[in-house]
């Protein structure tokens, strides 16, 4: 396990093919490959535990439990998605960077941040310079990479809903976040129902072929439930605006 203390050391570890695992929680997570990487990287030595309520930045090593206590006014979708992630015990271990860097298709935090226009600061093997990417572009980034910081995006009336089956801690079948803009339009982002989190047009959902079809739910069911959740969120956001 490598614990880099500088960005140069982190880039060197990435250049060796190292992958960020984030400690025990990461190793046990479904975000990790079944076979551990030859070079494992722990980001705990880089001082990424900070949170800046003014700038709306959080470090990758911030635990979800700490993010729950962060000032999330104007980002109700993010607060709801954090509360829906795993269990309270797990949220004391799971980091923001671990959740986003894992790029799980069923992650609830990604769509909630995406509707607010969140960005991630990353370092890749191919370039030693830090750069900022729109959060959804993280899905296209070639491994290995490291997520260092996250912007929470612009504040605004937002909400989040999910369908997960009988157990509240079960992975989501469908997750949808929505944000209402000052001009009355909306931004919606879907995850879990699709192979990756995507922004969708409420009036023109992607065809059923774009939705996941597996032993947990059919593509047709996931598409229909996406439509239902968007309708519910639209009504909820209208109520927030009226309030």
What pLDDT digit, counting tens, does each position of 197-242 carry?
999 999 999 999 999 999 999 999 999 999 999 999 999 999 875 4
Average pLDDT, the chain: 90
Map out the domains of the chain with their CATH numbers.
45-151 (3.30.465.10), 158-242 (3.30.390.50)
Handedness of CA 180, 181, 184, 186 (dihedral sign): negative
What confidence tens digit (pLDDT) does each residue in 134-152 have? 999 999 999 899 999 999 9
What confidence tens digit (pLDDT) does each residue in 11-67 have? 999 999 898 985 555 555 554 555 667 788 999 999 999 999 778 899 999 999 999
Closest alpha carbon to 210 in 222, 225, 227: 222
What pTM value is reported for the model?
0.92
* Contacts of residue 81, Cβ cutoff 8 Å, sequence gap at least 6: 108, 109, 111, 112, 113, 160, 175, 177
The span from the first CA to the last CA of the chain, in angstroms, equals: 51
């Amino acid at each position: 396990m490598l614990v880099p203390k500088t960005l140069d050391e982190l880039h060197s570890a990435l250049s060796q093919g190292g992958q960020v695992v984030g400690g025990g929680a990461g190793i046990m997570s479904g975000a990790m490959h079944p076979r551990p990487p030859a070079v494992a990287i722990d980001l705990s030595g880089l001082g990424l535990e900070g949170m800046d309520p003014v700038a709306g930045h959080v470090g990758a090593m911030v635990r979800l439990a700490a993010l729950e206590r962060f000032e999330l006014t104007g980002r109700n979708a993010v607060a709801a998605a954090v509360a829906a992630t795993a269990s309270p015990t797990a949220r004391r271990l799971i980091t923001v960077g671990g959740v986003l860097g894992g790029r799980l298709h069923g992650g609830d935090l990604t769509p909630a941040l995406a509707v607010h226009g969140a960005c991630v600061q990353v370092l890749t093997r191919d370039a030693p310079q830090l750069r900022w990417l729109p959060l959804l572009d993280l899905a296209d980034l070639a491994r290995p990479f490291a997520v260092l910081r996250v912007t929470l995006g612009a504040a605004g009336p937002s909400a989040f809903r999910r369908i997960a089956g009988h157990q509240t801690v079960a992975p989501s079948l469908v997750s949808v976040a929505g944000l209402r803009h000052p001009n009355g339009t909306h931004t919606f982002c879907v995850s879990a129902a699709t192979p990756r989190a995507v922004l969708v047009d409420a009036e023109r959902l992607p065809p059923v072929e774009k939705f996941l079809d597996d032993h947990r739910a059919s593509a047709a069911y996931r598409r229909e439930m996406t439509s239902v959740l968007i309708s519910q969120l639209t009504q909820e956001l209208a109520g927030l605006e009226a309030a």
